[in-house]
Each structure stands twice: as structure tokens, then as C-alpha cells.
Amino acid sequence: MTATSIERVNGTPVASPERGFDAVALAKADAIRTEAAAKAEAERIKAEGEAKAAEILAREEAEKQRIANERAAMRLEKEKADHNAHLAKKAAETAKSQAEKEKADKAAEEEDEREAQQLAEQERTENLWKWGARGIYLVGLVIAAPVQFLAFWDEDRPFLVAAPALLEGLALVLAAGAAWAVAHRRDVMPYRIGIMAGALIAAGINLWHGLTDPAIGLNAGLIGALASLGGPVVLMAYEHGIAQKADGIPSRRERRAAKRAKACEEAAREKARAEKRVAEEKAAAEKAAQQKVAEAEQQRRDDDRRQGHPEVWEVADAMRSARGSQYVTEQIWADAWYRVTGSKTVGITAEIEARSRAAQTRMKVATEVPIIGDFSQVDSQKGQRAKRDPNAPDGRRFNGGTPPRRTPGDTPPPSPIARKQAALEQASAAAKNTARGDQA
């Protein structure tokens, strides 16, 4: 039996094995040791990578936690500042409302005090006026009564001495009746007529006896007549004021003030009406100007579209007429453009869309293809190599100075990066061919 010997492995001479030594087993053991070493190295690298990744992850988590803590602290500070600002705002609002309340209370108190003072002054003047009128009536009665007693005194007819009491008492009783009518909201005019009638009769008698009776004299008769008229007139004036107040009739001063207030209010209303009229006229003028500008712009747009796109304009004008619109609106123009060109975007035609698609394809090819040349992705990973001297000996091991013979399977397959690069170059070439065909 002839023994089989291995002279070369992958073109490399193998030393003659010793007798009784299996070269194949040795190569397998060497391959196993190499594989085990490679696996151990891979495990070591993997462990180092995992440890490094865990360290990086731990640093990232620590940084995230630090940032989260800082954000939480900042948020807490912001919430504290907002809370303090809210408290300060509430305190300011409370102080302001309290000040406004105190101011309103003070104003109300002042108003109440003014009203009380006014009521007190009204009551004082009313009492003064009431007792003054009654005092004048009594003084007139004291003056007029003796004159009338002298006028009516007759020894033969002593009963006529009661006539002065009748005349002066008539005015007094009717004045009391007028006061009753005012208090009970009754008509006071009859009482006033009776008062004036009695006073005029008494004044006439006093004046007549002063002129005809030398014992009385003109002066006494004239003073008696004035006294008979003055007391009832003053008392009637007082009762007239009380009646107007009870009936709510405004005084002449109040009527003048109301008239002035009404005139001011009417002037304010007239001014407001004038301002409103001016504003309406201005708004109408602005609206007319805007309408004119809009009509001019619509006319310019219609002329431009009619001249630039006559086919679309014919369809748009027909649609306008069918829809009963005064102008070709933007919606009508968009519908007409879609019906004529097939494009939903106004201003875009099939030719423009085709040129745009071609330009987009060229731009995509130019931006996505890999860089070819000295700065390509592959060359960028290669370092600068020194040129080898052609006379230098071959430094490769176990080849005896002769390059090894290439056989199938003696080199590793292409890496995934190389395959991806080849695919990208193939796609780039195909895109360029497509772009040239579109341009043609």
C-alpha cells in the first residue's frame, strides 16, 4: 500500500512529516486552536464592547437623571415663584378691594351725612317759614282787629262788635281748612278763594272806615287793610309750598335744572347722531372705494386669464353663466382648470408636471448616489500606503518568493459593505440611464 503525502497546502510547501505523525490531524488541531482562539478573542471583544456599552449607558442614565433632577429643581423653583407671585397678587387684590370698600363706605357715610344735614336744614327752614307765616298772620290780626272794632262799634247796636271776629276768623278758619286739604291730598283751591275773599272784604272795610271816619284816620285804615291782606297771603303762600311738596310738583329752579339737563342730553344725543352719521358715511365711502378696487382687480384678473388661458376661460365663463355667478370666482376657475388640464393645482399643466418630475429625479440621483473618486466611501476608509520598491524581496510568508496560486474558495466572500456599495453604484448607473432617456 502506497502512503499519501501532502507536499503543498494552498500552494505552500509543507515540511516532510516525521514518521508516525499525522499532518491532517495536526492541521485540524491547528484549525481548532485557531478557531478557539478566534472565538475567545471574539468573546473578549464582545465582553469589552458590552462593558463599554454598559458604562456608556450608565453615564447616559446618570446624565439623564442629573438633567431630570435639575429640571425638577427648576420646576419647583418656578412653582414657588409662581405661588409667591400668586400670593402677592391676591394680597394686592385684597388690599385694593379693601381700599375700594373703605372708600365706598366713606363716600356712603359722607352722602348720608350730607343728606342728614340737608334734611335738618330743610326741617329748620320749614319750621322757620311755618312759624314766621303764622306770626305774621297774628301780627296782622292784632293790627286789623282794633280798627274793625272801632269801625263796627255802635252803642245802639252792640252786637255788631262780633263782625270783626267774623271777618278775621273767616280767613283764619279757611287757612286751617287749606292746611287740612294739603295734609289729606284734597283740592285746596276753594279754600284759597275763600281766604282771599275774606281778606279783601276785611281790607276794604278797614280802608273805607279809615277814609270816612276821622276817629280812625287814613293811616290806621291803610295799615289795617294791609294787615288784613298780608297775614292771609303769607299763610296761603306757606300752604301753597307745602302742597307742591306733597304733590311732588317741581319748583321753578328744579324745572330750570331739568330743562338744562334735558337740553344737555338732547345735545349729547344730537352729537352722537351726528358722529354716527359721519361714521356711517365714512364706512359707506370706504366700502364703495373697496368695492371699486375689487371690481378693478377682478377685471384685471379676468382680462389676464382670458388672454393667457383662452381654453380654460371659455369653460370657466360657461360654468359662471350656468351657476348664475356675477364673476368668475376662484372656485369656478379651479374647477375649469381641472376640467381642461386634469390638474387640481391651478397653474400646473401636464408638461410642467413632467418637467418637474424629471428635475426631481435628477436631483434625487445627484443627492443619493455615492461619491466616486478619491473621496468615495471605500477609498475614505483606506489609509495612505507607501509605494513598494519593485526590487524589494517579497515579504509574504511561506511562498518561496512566488505569489500563491488562486483557487476557488481560498478567499473570504465580499463583505456586506462592499455588496451595498456595489448595489448603490448599480442603482446610480440605472438612474443616470433613466435620466438620459427622459431628456432624450
Q: Is 163 part of any domain? A: yes
Q: Is 171 part of any domain? A: yes
Q: Is 311 part of any domain? A: no
Whether 398 and 12 have beta carbons less than 8 Å apart is answered as yes
Determine the Cα–Cα distance for residues 86 and 92; give it in Å rounded to an integer. 10
The pTM for the full model equals 0.35
Q: Which residue has the cell 495612505?
A: 384
Whether 431 and 369 have beta carbons less than 8 Å apart is answered as yes
Structure confidence at residue 9 as a pLDDT band (50, 70, 90): very low
Question: 1 pLDDT exceeds 50?
Answer: no
Whether 359 and 439 have beta carbons less than 8 Å apart is answered as no
Q: Is 256 part of any domain? A: yes
Q: Is 203 part of any domain? A: yes
pLDDT, tens digit (0-9, with 9 covering 90-100), for 411-433:
666 667 777 777 777 777 777 77
Q: Is 226 part of any domain? A: yes
pLDDT, tens digit (0-9, with 9 covering 90-100), for 217-276:
777 777 777 877 777 888 777 777 777 776 666 667 777 888 888 888 888 989 899 999
- Which is it for the CA torsion 10, 16, 22, 25, positive or negative? negative
Residue 228's domain comprises 137-264
Whether 327 and 298 have beta carbons less than 8 Å apart is answered as yes
Q: Is 149 part of any domain? A: yes
DSSP state at residue 162 = G
Question: 435 pLDDT exceeds 50?
Answer: yes
Q: Is 221 part of any domain? A: yes
Number of domains in the chain: 1
Q: What is the mean pLDDT of the chain?
A: 77
Determine the Cα–Cα distance for residues 70 and 57; give it in Å rounded to an integer. 20
